[in-house]
Amino acid sequence: MSAPGKTEPTEIIARARTGDTQAWGDLYREFAPAIFRFCRRAMPTREDAEDATMEIFMKLRDKLNQFDQSRSFSAWLYKIAANHCWDMLRRRKARHDKDTDDIDDVPLESPEPNQLEKLIEERTSEEVRKALDTLGMRARMALVMRYYSDMSYDEIADALGVRRQFVGVVLLRARHELRQALGENTAIAVGGNR
Amino acid sequence: MSEAEMNEKNRANDAHPDEMALLLYVERQLDREAAQGVSVHTQTCTRCLTLLRALDRESRLLTRSMLEQDEPLPARLAEFHAQVKRNMQWIWGVIFGLAVLGVYALYTGYIEPWQLQLEQAGFGSGNLLSLVVFQGAFWKGWQSMFSLFEVLAVMTMAGFGLFAFRRYLRRGSAMAVLFASLSLLLVVSTPASATEFRKGDTVTIKKGDVIHGDLFVTGEHVRIEGEVDGDVYAFASQLDVSGHINGDLIGFVQTERISGVVDGNLRTASNNVTITGSIERSVLTWNQTFNLDSSGKIGRSLTAGGQTLTVDGKVGRDFLCFSESTIISGLIGGSVRGRGKDLSILSGAEIDGKTVFEGQKEPSVSADAKLASPPEFTKIQHKTRERGGVYYVWRVIWTGAFVLFGLVLAGLMPKFAMETVDSAGHLGASFGLGVLVFFGVFIASIIACITIVGMFVGLSSLMLWLVMLFAAGIAVGGIVGQWIMGRSEEFWPFFLRIVVGVAAVRVITSLPFIGGWAGFIVALWGMGAISLALYRRLQPSLAPNIPPVPMPPVSAPLPPNTTVGGI
């Protein structure tokens, strides 16, 4: 996994680990936009995303010496971000949120391929982002981890606390939720039996 | 179904792979054998190939949508602020300290004097809120339902809160809570006893007629000659009560004459009130002219405000008055405490308690009057014309409290705060709406409060109105600050503009002569801005018309980790 559009700033990371504040600032400026966007996609409000971004970098600074330099820094950073955002969302869920756990056992209907193609063709990025905002927190988190930060199924399973074999199901259900949200404002129906 | 089961299934039969298998194939999560099966199948099955491509395009649409840089990094995050954030913790200590100071000022300046005066007038009570709301100010049944109404009041406020912040909540749950609380409110607030409504130009409850339950009556001329076995709520031009009311009489009447008997309390806002009959409990009245005739009797205390108050009859306990002119020639069973221009105690007057008067002239006391002790007089000082250092120190403290109030509001609702300040920039709309809200909501809240059914809504609206009134100066301060320093959408610069603006507004509203009017204008302006922002927020938002991101044709190369149709 690599950060979207990022190369590994190995030297900056090494200097930041030694306490070089200039290097830390460079590292922050390098990765903060991508992490903020990650949080913006994962969290329900902009304010939450801003808070989460700041807290993730505070965690990162505390944990930077634990980073194994033989591995991908951005993958490690996204793992921290995903864990942090998921923790925040779970804490919030405990208070007042709902999730889609209760519908996990509902069988999914496969979409009609041509209608699905039509839906995808007609939807804009903006509409997709708006639809994402309406999803349950686990569905949205799974999609963000997979399609924004390109995390592996193992990493997603680890972050969400589910079995690796269950990740595909989570992603598929998330896609169905998303299609439903995208289709709500149109006459396009993507359900159907095969 | 898990991926392992999926793989097993695809090995076991050669039927159409389902969507799960196709997704895992696109995601390169199938094992080699299962992937081979899907690949072979999609070479001959157009339907599955179409679905496979659709899933892949969906993946790319998702990635594209998420990676698109639709908003810049907020300036707050431009640099790492962990150190600053920690250093800023002290400000919460300051906020807490100043907030406590503000509350103390509010209590000592406004609440405590009123509380003391009301207690001295026989309204003995531990706190003002319970006095006004729960201890029979409007409805004698409050006392027994104290706990229930407390809970319901909180639930109602919570419902409004959820509604206001519904954008941050799951819509379904917020609406469920809101409707549940409103439903409960409607169910519980239904009056237990029968209530009769009478309306007409002239409404007469004839002698011999008995109304069982409360009576709501409106009309040009209302006469109650018979008996009402409950409370009476009257809205009329003229009200004559010569009959018997077993409960309270609550009236908004131009001219009110009571020659009969009211077993409960009298609460009234009228132009003229004349009592020649008997009120068994207390009287709370606000009017131009109040006259307790020599034959009139009030069993407990009398609290009256108005232009001219004449007490010729008998008051069982204390008399508290706020009037231009007060004349006492009857019997007061307790003390007299008054504030106004002048107080005359005529011959025939008898006051069993202390007489304390704060006014412009020393009270005129007849030699024949019987007083328990000589009157205590305090001349009213026109403090507004003699503003000393203490006054300005308190203005600074209050300004600090307003700024902190603004900080809390802006911190809790940064986006709404900015929208409110932007709304304040629309002067015409803000003023227009401000006039409507300032008068309309206040009057509607009061009317709702005096009717049992609308008590919760009335109190909630009144609370909201008060919060808006206090926040009005902050909203206006925000726009004034922006005019002075320019616009900024970042939090701390935005807050700095509020500070500067609030300070400027406070300076203007502190000026002699014009300060009061300036404050009134600020209240209208600010309340209008808040209302406008609320109104806009409640409108459904339209998505900007952003052109679609062009999708590559189906034949375009796929990302390296995907394969379609075995190619």
Work out the average pLDDT over B442-454. Answer: 68
Contact B76/A at CB under 8 A: yes
Which of B65, B77, B167 is the closest to A50 by Cβ? B77
A95, A124, A153, A175, best to mutate vs chain B, most B CBs in 10 Å? A124
* Lowest-confidence segment of B209-213, B384-388, B513-517 by average pLDDT: B384-388
Radius of gyration of chain A, Cα coordinates, nearest whole angstrom: 18
Q: Do A36 and B74 touch (CB under 8 A)?
A: yes
A21 exposed, middle or buried (CB, 10 Å; 0-12, 13-18, 19+)? exposed
Q: How far is CA B239 from the centre of its chain?
A: 32
Token reading at A92: 């919030």
Higher per-residue confidence, B157 vs B263: B263
Q: Do A129 and B70 touch (CB under 8 A)?
A: yes
- Of the candidates A100, A76, A91, the one whose C-alpha atom is nearest the C-alpha of residue A162 is A100
- Of the candidates B351, B316, B469, the one whose C-alpha atom is nearest the C-alpha of residue B402 is B469
Which of B48, B81, B549 is the closest to A54 by Cβ? B81
What is the band of B540 on the pLDDT scale with cuts at 50, 70, 90? very low
A61, A108, A115, A117, best to mutate vs chain B, most B CBs in 10 Å? A117
Contact B542/A at CB under 8 A: no
What is the band of B306 on the pLDDT scale with cuts at 50, 70, 90? confident
pLDDT of residue B189: 44
Helix then strand then coil, in percent of chain B rounded to 5, is 50, 20, 30
> How far apart (Å, rounded) are the C-alpha atoms in residues B408 and B21?
52
pLDDT of residue B347: 86
- Confidence check: pLDDT of A143 > 90: yes
The percent of residues above 70 in pLDDT, for chain B, comes to 69
Q: Do A96 and B82 touch (CB under 8 A)?
A: no
* Contacts B50 to A, Cβ<8 Å: 113-114, 117
Report pLDDT digits (tens) over B98-149: 555 656 666 666 666 666 665 555 444 444 444 444 444 444 443 334 444 4
What is the band of B86 on the pLDDT scale with cuts at 50, 70, 90? very low
* Contacts B547 to A, Cβ<8 Å: 124
pLDDT of residue B84: 41
pLDDT of residue B543: 35
Listed in sequence order, the residues at least 6 apart from A73 whose beta carbon sits closer than 8 Å to its beta carbon are A8, A9, A10, A13, A67
Q: Do B59 and A147 touch (CB under 8 A)?
A: yes
Report pLDDT digits (tens) over B255-297: 899 999 999 989 888 888 999 999 999 898 888 889 999 899 9
Q: Using an 8 Å Cβ cutoff, are B333 and B317 in contact?
A: yes
Contact A63/B at CB under 8 A: no
Q: Do A28 and B80 touch (CB under 8 A)?
A: yes
Contact A194/B at CB under 8 A: yes
> How far apart (Å, rounded) are the C-alpha atoms in residues A2 and B430?
51
Q: Do A123 and B6 touch (CB under 8 A)?
A: no
Nearest CA to CA, how far is B468 from chain A (Å)?
24
What is the band of B192 on the pLDDT scale with cuts at 50, 70, 90? very low
Higher per-residue confidence, A159 vs B163: A159
Which of B51, B169, B170 is the closest to A113 by Cβ? B51
**Helical H runs in A96-166?**
113-122, 125-133, 137-147, 153-160
**Mean pLDDT computed over every residue of chain A:** 82
Nearest CA to CA, how far is A68 from chain B (Å)?
23
In terms of average pLDDT, the best of B2-16, B133-147, B440-454 is B440-454
Work out the average pLDDT over B38-56. Answer: 90
B65, B71, B171, B177, best to mutate vs chain A, most A CBs in 10 Å? B65
Report pLDDT digits (tens) over B484-498: 887 777 778 888 888
- Confidence check: pLDDT of A79 > 90: yes
Which 115-144 residues of chain A touch chain B by CB within 8 A? 116-117, 120-130, 132, 143-144
* Contacts B170 to A, Cβ<8 Å: 96-98
Q: Using an 8 Å Cβ cutoff, are A143 and A82 in contact?
A: no
Q: Using an 8 Å Cβ cutoff, are A155 and A77 in contact?
A: no
* Contacts A54 to B, Cβ<8 Å: 77, 81-82, 85
* Contacts A151 to B, Cβ<8 Å: none
* Contacts B66 to A, Cβ<8 Å: 37, 41, 129, 132, 143-144, 147-148
Which of B50, B74, B546 is the closest to A50 by Cβ? B74
> How far apart (Å, rounded) are the C-alpha atoms in residues A157 and A162?
5
Which 9-48 residues of chain A touch chain B by CB within 8 A? 24-25, 28-29, 32-33, 36-37, 40-41, 44-47
Which 29-48 residues of chain B touch chain A by CB within 8 A? 29, 47-48
pLDDT of residue B140: 41
Which of A45, A46, A125 is the closest to B64 by Cβ? A125
Q: Do B63 and A148 touch (CB under 8 A)?
A: yes
What is the secondary structure of B56-79 as a DSSP string?
HHHHHHHHHHHHS--SPPPGGGSS
> How far apart (Å, rounded) are the C-alpha atoms in residues B318 and B311?
12
Q: Do A120 and B548 touch (CB under 8 A)?
A: no
Q: How far is CA A14 from the centre of its chain?
A: 27
- Confidence check: pLDDT of B447 > 50: yes
Nearest CA to CA, how far is A21 from chain B (Å)?
10
> How far apart (Å, rounded) are the C-alpha atoms in residues B390 and B76?
39
Token reading at B243: 């009959």
Report pLDDT digits (tens) over A90-135: 887 655 544 445 445 556 777 888 888 888 888 888 899 989 988 8
Could you give the C-alpha distances from B186 to B141, B166, B475, in angstroms and in order? 17, 22, 34
Which of A47, A96, A171 is the closest to B414 by Cβ? A47
Q: Do A172 and B71 touch (CB under 8 A)?
A: no
Reported ipTM: the value is 0.87
Q: Do A120 and B54 touch (CB under 8 A)?
A: yes
Q: 3-state class of B213 per DSSP?
A: coil
pLDDT of residue A14: 87
Locate the chain A residue with the closest alpha carbon to B414. A47
B127 exposed, middle or buried (CB, 10 Å; 0-12, 13-18, 19+)? exposed
**Mean pLDDT computed over every residue of chain B:** 75
Report pLDDT digits (tens) over B308-363: 899 999 999 889 888 888 999 999 999 998 888 888 898 889 999 889 988 888 88
Residue type, A176: H
The percent of residues above 70 in pLDDT, for chain A, comes to 82
Q: How far is CA A67 from the centre of its chain?
A: 21
